[in-house]
Amino acid sequence: MPDITVLISGSGSNLQALIDAEASGVLKGKITQVISSSETAYGLERAQKAGIVCKTHTLKSYYKGTTKEQKLERQKRREQFNKDLANLLIYGHTESKQDSGYKKPDLIVCAGWMLILSPAVLHPLEEANVKIINLHPALPGAFDGTHAIERAWKAGQDGEISVGGVMIHKVIAEVDRGEPILVKELELKKEETLEQYEERVHSVEHKAIVEGSNIALENL
């Protein structure tokens, strides 16, 4: 059975959907580790309860001792963060040598990972033949990047669009521009609050993350 690593940054409700799908035999892989970009992410508790190995890889630890004005220094440290993340995924720790007992994942699922993955992460993964997919709460080519749910809802309220949605896509350097492998559309309703739309999006996400992961696993 293929091994899955899940990347998270927050509450981990989509991670929970994957955990539940594995427990019920629906997920066609095994979640072997969860890596969080935040030490306080509730998703870590979800993973621990399920007996999954947890790791944290936080950008703030790399920025320690710098100020926002030190842009070049921070850029350098961000790139190191990315290189170390690639090593953590491929070798099991931040140095580029194999950690005994560690097996690289067959698939990485970004389930609410809030940091951009640069070529410093993506190229080593590609060379190591590790596939990576992401969940994004918008349709292909619409509302790339952050706050996609709010932006789609606002466009719906303003009468600019009538359909929003969720996609699972391959991860490339251009944010949210990778080839979609699963798309689910959602009608935008004028009478609906942002909170109500958000709730519907999350409900669809929990199904899409499992279906999209299974498609990616079948195509390994």
What span, in angstroms and rounded, lies between the C-alpha atoms of 99 and 101? Answer: 6
Yes or no: say if 200 and 188 are a contact pair by the CB < 8 Å rule.
Answer: no
What span, in angstroms and rounded, lies between the C-alpha atoms of 159 and 49? Answer: 44
Reference 171, options 104, 105, 212, 122; nearest CA is 122
Give the position of tokens 């669809």. 204
How many residues are listed for the chain in this entry?
220
Q: Tell me the two tokens of residue 138.
A: 């918008």
Q: Tell me the two tokens of residue 118.
A: 């640069």
Q: Is 136 one of the catalytic residues?
A: yes
Yes or no: say if 135 and 120 are a contact pair by the CB < 8 Å rule.
Answer: no
What span, in angstroms and rounded, lies between the C-alpha atoms of 10 and 198? Answer: 16
Q: Is 81 helix (H, G, I), strand (E, B) or coil?
A: helix
User: Which of 57, 93, 123, 136 is the catalytic position?
Assistant: 136
Catalytic residues: 136
